[in-house]
Chains A and B, each alone.
Chain A
Amino acid sequence: MNLKKHWWKALAIVLLVYVHTVGLLAEVPRLNILNETIRALYFHVPMWFGMVLLYAVSVYYAILCLRKPGQGYDIWSVNFAHTGTLLGILGIATGMLWANYTWGSPWHGDPKQNGAAIALLVYLAYFVLRGSLESEEQKERLSAVYNLFAFAAMIPLIFIIPRLTESVHPGSGGNPGFNAYDLDSRMRLVFYPAVIGWFLVGLWLVNIRVRVQQLNKSNS
């Protein structure tokens, strides 16, 4: 992957500075219960979107691993999964912060929260699996297979089951997502840049990690 250019790193910084200033200062819709916590939409939700995007790229590289083994796609796949998990942990932390003020306790036992926690466990198991495989060739092949499996397990846990059950999370269990709010067009102006910003920062992290690991490998 050619990520040598710098413009997208600058774009990531600009977007996130914009998101943090406008997201914290601009006017937001006044809603009961939510009040100012609606600003979590600019931080919590884009992190989850960024996580799913990074995991999707990781799956793309896993498929490449299976189709053309031994071409060095494995290192990309695992680092995308790593960074996706980082954003997932940040997303769950910001979600707990939000839940503390909106639902009254950081861990509310909501299906969405539980599903998210299990999805993170699925990916942590992926790293355990990698740790216990010995040969590089086996590591590439088996972890790519489990990566596909993990992605297929994550989607219903986060997106399907919470919609079917009595979830109080916005966008699940019959609750409106942010599409239903009146002032959504103004919020979208911050929300979509935030998604792109977090994804680009994730990409940057992956890029640095892969380069460090490649250098370590060629040194040893």
Chain B
Amino acid sequence: MKGILPLLSKELKLEYRKQSTLAGIALYLFSLTFICYLTFKLKQQSIQPVTWSALFWLVILFAVMNSVAKSFIGERKGLSIYYYYIASPQAIIISKIIYNAVLAFVLSAIAYFLFVVFIGNPVQDVFLFFLTLVLTSWGLASSLSFISAIAAKASNSHVVMAVLSFPALIAVLLMAIRLSKNALDGLDFSVSADELYNLLAINCISTALAYVLFPYIWRS
């Protein structure tokens, strides 16, 4: 487990040096939100909370998928061999999951901010909403990092990534949509407890699977 911190700092440094990638994703997020604003806001003054949450999760899904997909797919072959030489596979996958979860959370927070500015803020229970964002980021990151590692080995990796990740994310997204609906309506916290536990359980399962199965993926 000692390899995790250096790998994490390496990811951060790489991201800091290649700021164009991060800026690209931020711009992508902005354009998605702006398209949502243009298509919905101009026609009517306010949109239903249900539509708000649907749009929000679609934007998050696409932005996170695009940013996390590059975690293994973009890496050059020689570079990955070097990483594998100096670190254990478990440390690599855990550091990727942590890094991607943080990235996904930052992206979701930016998306929330943009939505508040352009489309409005129907969220009544902000604490629950952010709790949902944290758990969902973790869930998306664990499944997507793992699938990105599989897809990186395939010949047409971007198609495979899209095909494999969509079904794997549905369980997480279903829970997230239900939770955010509760947060939008400002329901009591106890109502959402069940969904929170479920989301937590799904995250634990996908992280455990990634932890156990990743060593088999990179051995090639």
Contacts and interface: CB of A to CB of B under 8 A. Distances in A.
A146 B164 contact: yes
A91 to B, nearest CB: 18
Contacts of A133: 153-155
Nearest to A137: B220
A209 interface: no
A149 B216 CA distance: 13
Contacts of A146: 150, 164
B213 A148 contact: yes
Nearest to A135: B220
A145 B160 contact: no
B117 interface: no
Interface in A99-143: 118-119, 121-122, 125, 128-129, 132-134, 137-138, 141-142
Contacts of A125: 163-164, 166-167
Interface residues of B, number: 27
Interface residues of A, number: 27
A124 to B, nearest CB: 8
A138 B160 CA distance: 15
Interface of B: 146, 150, 153-156, 159-160, 163-164, 166-168, 170-171, 174, 194, 198, 202, 205-206, 209, 213, 216-217, 219-220
**8 A-B pairs with least C-beta separation:** A122-B167, A132-B154, A121-B167, A145-B213, A125-B163, A125-B164, A128-B163, A118-B170
Interface of A: 66, 118-119, 121-122, 125, 128-129, 132-134, 137-138, 141-142, 144-146, 148-149, 152-153, 156-157, 160-161, 164
